[in-house]
Structure 1
Amino acid sequence: MLQVFGQKRLFYGYFIVAGSMFALFVSMGARNGLGIFINPMEADGVWQNRTAIAAVIGLGTLVNALTQPFFGNLYDRYGGRAVISGSLLLLGVSTITLAFTQSIGPEFSVNVSILGGLLGQFELNNSLVYMFFIYSVLMSMASSGVSLVTVHAMLSKWYLRNRAKALSIATAGTSAGGLLLTPFSASLILWANWRFAWAALGLFVLLLALPLAYIILRDSPDEVGENPDGDANEVTGDTQVARPTAVVDRKTPLQTEVWKDSLKSSPFWQLSSAYFVCGITTIIISAHFVPFAIDLGISSGIAAMAFGLSQGLNIVGVIVAGMLADKYSRKNVLGTIYFVRFLAYVMLVLPGFALMFWGIQISPMIGIWSFAVLAGMSWLATPPLTSSLTADIYGVRNIGTLNGLSTMSHQIGGAMSVYLAGVLYDRFGAYEIPFAIAGLFLLGATIASYSVNERKFSLRYQSTPNPATAGGGD
């Protein structure tokens, strides 16, 4: 512990949580705020149709998915401070360079038709190539380095008993970034223009987020002479808690020296398959929720308010889930969250199916607002619990790589769901069918989570635990 006037100061892990949360706040807010820039950049001729920007976003999502394991492996080799700081540097520089879109390079134009126009066509010009390189490649790669993969891996070394809570609080930064930086960017565009807004965001990353991350972040408690959770080294009083250093050093039944060996056991696939479904059921909503509501006759303003409510409740849901997961069985909390999200999807499609099959009229507003509340409380709660369980079961030696692989499955699931939802909508003229299919997948995620044998494999159950830390249930 750090000392001031002979008194104990706060556990340094709290500063690690705060620094991680701010890094995620900046990373997610900068990269995921592209939607605010679409109309003004389109008006300036950066692209000619929405297929073009969809291609930019789609490629960016794919690059982000495929580079998650790479940055997770970099974390395992070089630590979180180096990877996160380097990624923030790349993120800041690439964000600033977006301000020069359409101002660099020779002019050219090529018409691109995908599958004979079946999947769209757009004009590929120097501006769009620039966007592909800067946003789809560089920014998307940088975001992989400042993501839940690296942050969760680093925090897992700082916390054991309070691991889920710490990861959940840091994860809340992702929602805060969207809630605060998106309207901030919109204000800058209105006050100046989109070029100024990109440059300002990039400077925000370079001049504030990067220095804070480099100064505050540390890879493990050993670097500042502390132990996980801020505990002392020896047992005190009647509390039956093992020495923290012994807990960290002790291997779990499935801990291995080589990360590939972890793929031979069922918990990794149970958690990753559930996380794949998480991607299916979140990213599809990010893209199609507002258009779905508008199709039902709900105004765009009300639809945006409902979506905003769900994003705001993310912060509440993720923190509550983290607190529960540190007290009770983490896999049971995770399974319950997936089931709550399943109920959210039931409410979302209920008005449409009730009218279609039974002739019963239910106000679409009931489905929209019920979904906003239930999905909001369960939306962001799954990543920290997935990472916590992975660290509990496989240890922290290869946690970056394992988290990266799980997150890759999440992003691939999301990319598939966004595309297929559009295809099914064009075919059937409604979103109820793709939403219903996505919702049914959540039952599988619920079962997969509940079936993880946490008591057998988790570090929390490898010795006689403190009742407040091990949790109840199997």
Structure 2
Amino acid sequence: MGSNQLQGRWYFGWNIVAACSILTLITVGTRLGIGPFVKPILDDLGMDRTELSVIIAIGMLVYGLGMPLAGRLLDSLGTRNVLLIGVGLVVLSIIWTYFSHDMLSFALAYGVLLSLGLSFTSPVTVTPVVSRWFTKQRGKALFYLSTGSMAGIAIMTPIFTLLIDLVGWRNTLLLLAVIFIVIAVPSAIFIIRDEVPEGGDALSGKSGGSSSNKGQEPRILSSWTEALKTRPFWQVAFGLFVCGFSMNLLGSHGVPMLTDHHFSNVTASFGVGIIGIVAMVSTVFLGSVSDRIPRRSMLSLIYFIRGLGFLGLVLVMTPWQLYLVATIGGLVWAGSAALSSAILGDVYGVRWVGILYGWAYFIHQIGGAMGSFLGGWSYEQFGTHLVSYSITTFLLVLASVVSFQIPSQLHLPKQQDLPLKATL
């Protein structure tokens, strides 16, 4: 059914959100679900935690570097082709990883090529198309898109744990390749489309809420590089840096940390999974209010409570404490990426969301690489996970303060007015 036919009760953009959320689920679930693989890979390939942490960190950097490249290719190739290229790279890398039996081959296949492929199927690739399809309900749509990330944590981590116990880590990756082909390819070909009907989500007949996040139309920059000279971009980027630091620390070392604290593999995986399960539910509520209250206030609150949750995770001693902390943390686990991309669209306009979000997410991945490395290195150096998790708590509280100061509109020097007006 054409998008123009879905004007009354249903808007085709929600189909795109659903498809992109599923793609995000398997992509982010794969990237952040490495925890269950850590000990089997260490045993199989004979590496120590520092060596594997370096490979994971390299992968995070490649994942980040691929995102601005994907954002740039969206203009010339379109969303569909970028996604299909990404799926091809993911499948090729998994086959290579399956046959890897030394550290160098594993690092190139799993650390480099897989990360590059996942960057092409990441939220950076699908966020611009969702942003174009939604104006009045952009915050809600991007929040719903972020449920894919939360579902990835909630679903993929326990599934990986179960499959690794049943068939081993190599065969688990092969099954993952099949999932990518079966889900991503039809979604890219038949559902996701860049052409937006005239009027966008106004066709759905919904007003979209109050105007707390609706200032005047963003001033169009003549080049995306001009945004790098402004404060809002770096405030958003710092928050995403800390987001990547914290999420990848948990994704890479959360399950091993909990098993080191004498929790069973099943309890540890379920504890981490609860964060994503609760986040999926809370995202529905957060999405419903995201277009009604200032985005910076919500983003600040998310970072603050998440910081307290990280400190709680490393201090829990019993399963019920773990589940309680995971539940509280899950309430605010979602939304930082969605709010960040929405803020970039509000401040700089939809035209530059892809490339700006790509570079901001690269900074996210620098944080991810540092968090992944710190988790393994600090444990071997100090014999405790308290160091890395305490640092994460401090950074999240700092990100909360910085995010609260993000302006709602872009204020440029007067001398830039003329060239800016000339581009309108």
Q: Which of 129, 132, 149 is equivalent to 1:154?
A: 129
Q: Kindly state the Cα deviation for residue 412 of structure 1 after the two structures are TM-superposed.
A: 1.1
Do the aligned partners of 1:3 and 1:9 also contact (CA within 8 Å) in 2? no
Supply the distance in 2 between the matched residues of 1:18 and 1:159 (Cα, whole angstroms): 14
CA offsets 1:130-177 (integer angstroms, 9 cap, x no match): 322222222101111111111112211111121121112122122323
Relative to structure 1, is the Cα distance of residues 382 and 100 closer, same or farther in structure 2, using a 3 angstrom cutoff? same
Q: State how 1:38-49 maps to structure 2 within 5 Å.
A: 45-49=44-48
Q: Kindly state the Cα deviation for residue 209 of structure 1 after the two structures are TM-superposed.
A: 1.7
- Corresponding residue for residue 91 of structure 1: 90
- Corresponding residue for residue 341 of structure 1: 306
- Corresponding residue for residue 124 of structure 1: none
Which moved further from structure 2: 411-420 or 381-390? 411-420
Do the aligned partners of 1:317 and 1:381 also contact (CA within 8 Å) in 2? no
Q: Which of 108, 113, 117 is equivalent to 1:133?
A: 108
Residue 252 in structure 1 maps to residue 218 in structure 2:
yes
Do the aligned partners of 1:421 and 1:434 also contact (CA within 8 Å) in 2? yes
Supply the distance in 2 between the matched residues of 1:367 and 1:436 (Cα, whole angstroms): 18
Relative to structure 1, is the Cα distance of residues 146 and 371 closer, same or farther in structure 2, using a 3 angstrom cutoff? same
Do the aligned partners of 2:56 and 2:372 also contact (CA within 8 Å) in 1? no
Q: What is the identity, as a one-letter code, of the residue corresponding to 2:5?
A: Q
Q: Which of 193, 200, 220 is equivalent to 1:218?
A: 193
Residue 199 in structure 1 maps to residue 196 in structure 2:
no
- Corresponding residue for residue 415 of structure 2: none
Residue 412 in structure 1 maps to residue 366 in structure 2:
yes
CA offsets 1:414-470 (integer angstroms, 9 cap, x no match): 22233334444445443334322321222221122111121667xxxxxxxxxxxxx
Q: Kindly state the Cα deviation for residue 384 of structure 1 after the two structures are TM-superposed.
A: 0.3
Residue 62 in structure 1 maps to residue 61 in structure 2:
yes
Do the aligned partners of 2:155 and 2:273 also contact (CA within 8 Å) in 1? no
CA offsets 1:157-202 (integer angstroms, 9 cap, x no match): 1111211211121221223234434555555555555554333322
Do the aligned partners of 1:13 and 1:230 also contact (CA within 8 Å) in 2? no
Supply the distance in 1 between the matched residues of 2:182 and 2:248 (Cα, whole angstroms): 31
Q: Kindly state the Cα deviation for residue 205 of structure 1 after the two structures are TM-superposed.
A: 1.8
Q: Kindly state the Cα deviation for residue 31 of structure 1 after the two structures are TM-superposed.
A: 4.6
Q: Kindly state the Cα deviation for residue 407 of structure 1 after the two structures are TM-superposed.
A: 0.9
- Corresponding residue for residue 394 of structure 1: 348
Supply the distance in 1 between the matched residues of 2:320 and 2:402 (Cα, whole angstroms): 30
Q: Helix, strand or coil for the counterpart of 1:443?
A: helix
Gaps of at least 5 residues in structure 1 are 103-126, 242-246, 353-362, 458-474
Do the aligned partners of 1:16 and 1:217 also contact (CA within 8 Å) in 2? yes
- Corresponding residue for residue 11 of structure 1: 11
Name the TM-score, length of structure 1 as normaliser.
0.75
Q: Helix, strand or coil for the counterpart of 2:351?
A: coil
Structure number, greater radius of gyration: 1
Residue 227 in structure 1 maps to residue 199 in structure 2:
yes
Q: Kindly state the Cα deviation for residue 387 of structure 1 after the two structures are TM-superposed.
A: 0.5
Q: Kindly state the Cα deviation for residue 87 of structure 1 after the two structures are TM-superposed.
A: 1.2
- Corresponding residue for residue 287 of structure 1: 252
Supply the distance in 2 between the matched residues of 1:84 and 1:140 (Cα, whole angstroms): 14
- Corresponding residue for residue 421 of structure 2: none
Supply the distance in 1 between the matched residues of 2:10 and 2:145 (Cα, whole angstroms): 17
Q: Helix, strand or coil for the counterpart of 2:332?
A: helix
Do the aligned partners of 1:276 and 1:410 also contact (CA within 8 Å) in 2? yes
Name the TM-score, length of structure 2 as normaliser.
0.83
- Corresponding residue for residue 377 of structure 1: 331
Larger relative contact order (CA 8 Å, sep ≥ 6):
2
Q: State how 1:347-358 maps to structure 2 within 5 Å.
A: 347-348=312-313
Identity %: 30
Residue 81 in structure 1 maps to residue 47 in structure 2:
no
- Corresponding residue for residue 356 of structure 1: none
Q: Helix, strand or coil for the counterpart of 1:252?
A: coil
Do the aligned partners of 2:23 and 2:121 also contact (CA within 8 Å) in 1? yes
- Corresponding residue for residue 403 of structure 2: 449
- Corresponding residue for residue 26 of structure 2: 26
Gaps of at least 5 residues in structure 2 are 412-424
Q: What is the identity, as a one-letter code, of the residue corresponding to 1:25?
A: L
CA offsets 1:276-327 (integer angstroms, 9 cap, x no match): 1222222222334345445555555443332221122221233322222112
Could you say what the CA RMSD is over the residues aligned between the two structures, in angstroms?
A: 3.3
Q: Larger % of helix: which?
A: 2
Q: What is the identity, as a one-letter code, of the residue corresponding to 1:432?
A: L
Which moved further from structure 2: 434-443 or 324-333? 434-443
Relative to structure 1, is the Cα distance of residues 302 and 145 closer, same or farther in structure 2, using a 3 angstrom cutoff? same
Q: What is the identity, as a one-letter code, of the residue corresponding to 1:286?
A: G
